[in-house]
Amino acid sequence: MIDQSQSSEELRQYDNLLRKQEESIFFLRRDLKRLQKETIVDPKTELFSSAYFHSSLRNEMLRSERYRHFMTLAVLHLVSRSQTSTNQLTRQIRRIGQQASASLIRRTDTLAEFGKGQVALILPETERTGAEIVIDRLGPIVRNDEYDFRFSILSYPEDASNVEMMLTRIENVAEELRCGVATV
């Protein structure tokens, strides 16, 4: 015969265990949403993340290849005129992103953090001259008493004929910009 008090206690224990597991599931789902967002947007700069940039670049290159459209990629490297902290650099990149997104780039363009002090801009259906115009317009936003910038522009199909070549070229360009070497 089953003892009524024992079975009530077991039910209470199972009920508590179930509540704890439901609470854990809630927090796991919340954390998963946050992590998914962080893989798309860098929480410090509020720009698209480097991982998202690489994914977008592959997609845009494939789209450009398929439809035979131009696609241009611009990489900007911020150059500090004085000693600045990482936090100051991050704030400057965030400011550039906010101002550029508000007035200079299209919704179809991708502005992303590319590396320390670097921002990349994917411009679909844009030739090199169009990218040069965007860079000229970005100049006043980027340049101030503390910062100047170097940049490089790569264009499909002129500078790279496929995704792998573009990725290789962009990594080389980013390193050359960090070192202060003029490129494409």
Nearest to 134 by CA among 120, 144, 148: 120
pLDDT tier at 184, thresholds 50, 70, 90: very low
For 50-179, CATH number?
Answer: 3.30.70.270
The tens digit of pLDDT for each residue in 12-59 reads: 999 999 999 999 898 888 888 777 666 788 888 888 988 888 889 889
Write the pLDDT tens digit of every residue in 144-174.
778 778 888 999 889 888 878 888 888 888 8
pLDDT tens-place string over residues 118-143: 889 999 999 999 999 999 998 888 87
Q: Which of 166, 184, 144 shows the shortest CA–CA distance to 70?
A: 166
pLDDT, residue 72, reads 94
pTM here?
0.73
Question: pLDDT > 90: what percent of the chain?
Answer: 22
